[in-house]
Structure 1
Amino acid sequence: MRTQVAIVGGGPAGLLLSHLLHRQGVASVVLESRDRAYVERRQRAGMLEQGTTDVLRESGAGERLDREGLVHHGIELRFGGEGHRIPITDLTGRTVTVYAQTEIVKDLAALRLADGGDVRYEAEVLAVDPSTGTVTFRQDGAAHELTADYIAGCDGFHGVSRRAVPDVRTFARDYPFAWLGVLADVAPSTDELIYAHHERGFALHSLRSPSVSRLYLQVAPDEDLAAWSDARIWDELAVRFGTPDGWELTPGPITDRSVTPMRSFVAEPMRHDRLFLAGDSAHIVPPTGAKGLNLAVSDVTILARALTERYASGSEALLDAYSATCLSRVWRAEHFSYWMTTLLHADPESDAFARRLQRAHLEYVAGSAPAMASLAENYAGLPLK
């Protein structure tokens, strides 16, 4: 089998890349190891930068996003029992939108199949060869080979693509805490996201829809999920979000819960020969800055543009610049995510001096117009160059 671009991974990055290429007349085959139902129900964050929503709309994948997405113009930092609003739109002219990653995957999968796209589920990729453009995969109990001009590795942190890059350099940091995330069938108690710093640990109140809430608690990396009953979760959230002005958190039935470790990771370079890494296969960010999905979208947008130029004019200049172009944006997002994480979490390894410094920094961010503007600019997302 042959195609122009072989895409390893059928999550949002792989599907969006295939969709963007299709719109420019470039053929692709998407290979996804899981079945479609599994991919479409994987729970992931869904805070979209302005640039991400622009890409989805311009590609024709924004109809349901515009109808169901929750547009936000600010966020709240809460500490010391007080809330401090960061007016993102006033400071940047941009917005952020809450729209679940599961819904993005559903939208893109439906578009690809409606367009006759070749998306192969339950196709386990065994190996990729960057020098020949060959992808070996197993489907229906048989081994197959797909040969392409180029390969896009969109198969996540544990996929095979990154392992095919020789002499890859990796940079990583593990954090001494994790997130206990819950999905609850209850209307959100807030109109905008609340990022709460508390001596007992960080908490985040997010929204999934007008009737579904997404909430997070800082816990230990080895936390026993079974030790957290619904009542304990709601009680702890109420403590960490607590204010003396009468604000109340409304509890409801919890339908999903999980513990997510916190890690920063970057692999360099993001290209070797015919293979290009994109999304989680090349970088991981702690979720505090809401950058993971947005970085994946920027990666494949840059890659689609480079591949389109290659097939339109024969020029490989944008392909040659791909890794450097992406990494510049990746490292900026890594720093912002690290900064937000260390600003808001209670570090069990910190001493009293470090905790006082952290509080002083929070007060500075909440009280300084330039500091708020910097947070807002990075949170809403830097323009895609």
Structure 2
Amino acid sequence: MIPTLEWTADGVRFLDQTKLPLEETYVLATSYRQVADVITTMVVRGAPAIGVSAAMGVALGVKESKATSISDLTTEFGAICNTLAATRPTAVNLFWAIAHMRDLFSALASKPGITREGIADALIKEAQVMYDEDIAACKTMGANGAELLPETGGVLTHCNAGALATCGYGTALGVIRAAVERGRAIHVYADETRPFLQGARLTAWELMHDGIPTTVLCDNMAASLMRQGKIKAVVVGADRIAANGDVANKIGTYNVAILAKEHGIPFYVAAPWSTIDTATPTGDGIPIEQRPEREVTHHAGKQLTPHGVGIENPAFDVTPAKYVTAIITERGVLRAPYAESLAELEAIPTAR
């Protein structure tokens, strides 16, 4: 896959996902404020990719800083982190990554004789390690979840939880990719995912690149196909998973989960451990981002709705844990009761 994002000597280079599938163009962010804008405008999107983008933004901010003392740099560093943290409120990976970089900065800044250049080099290296770890986590997640998918038949996904939503390979699409690599004859049904059309534009583009059979559905078609027996499993990503297993994902996911339950179809969620938020007890505590009205009122610059009509545009909804068959992570596959299985895997020490 074409890299979603990458660190370069000139700045952070992003594949512009707002231009896909018709144009494969790139945006170069040369400052942390530009990285913040790239995240806000969804040039880059997807919880894991947002997290690593923020880490690279932090590193870029320190690299480009003109601070002449560690004290001044520390003050500026706080502003850098706060700017990046204000971009999108729901994806917990964003805050996880920034907190990770804050901890590293604090440890480095306390070292005698440390320089701004030394701190910047260490932060850049750490952001690149996080990039590599994200891809490795996706591949392990894919291997963990592949056996859950059918030997043959249709698998429905919603939004884009693929390589474009991560640093590579993908979460939900990583599970699908791993299943296909193991010889399973899967046909993917991709919800178009209104109003931003991540499924129609991005998931379809990715899977066609990989030669995986794909059909795009309008969001209101899933129930009919489920009733016909064309959907054997559902696998989606997540932007935040609460301690009880409630899942925040792209708006419309809740609808799909209810339909899957009604039709006796397994509903799987694939997400890296950095998406788990054990500090939030239930989905009721997950902040839901409200996107601009124009995403609903206009398409390709053309207005679709009457002037003055009310618009509701939440980017995410919350699927209660009771609808989730299993949560697939790089640490393993979790089953209900999720409060227990999440706590059990969280207690396992990690390599870093």
TM-score range, shorter chain: under 0.3
User: Which protein is bigger by CA-based radius of gyration?
Assistant: 1
Bigger RCO of structures 1 and 2 (CA < 8 A, at least 6 apart)? 1
TM-score normalised by L of structure 2? 0.24
- Greater per-residue strand proportion: 1
TM-score normalised by L of structure 1? 0.22
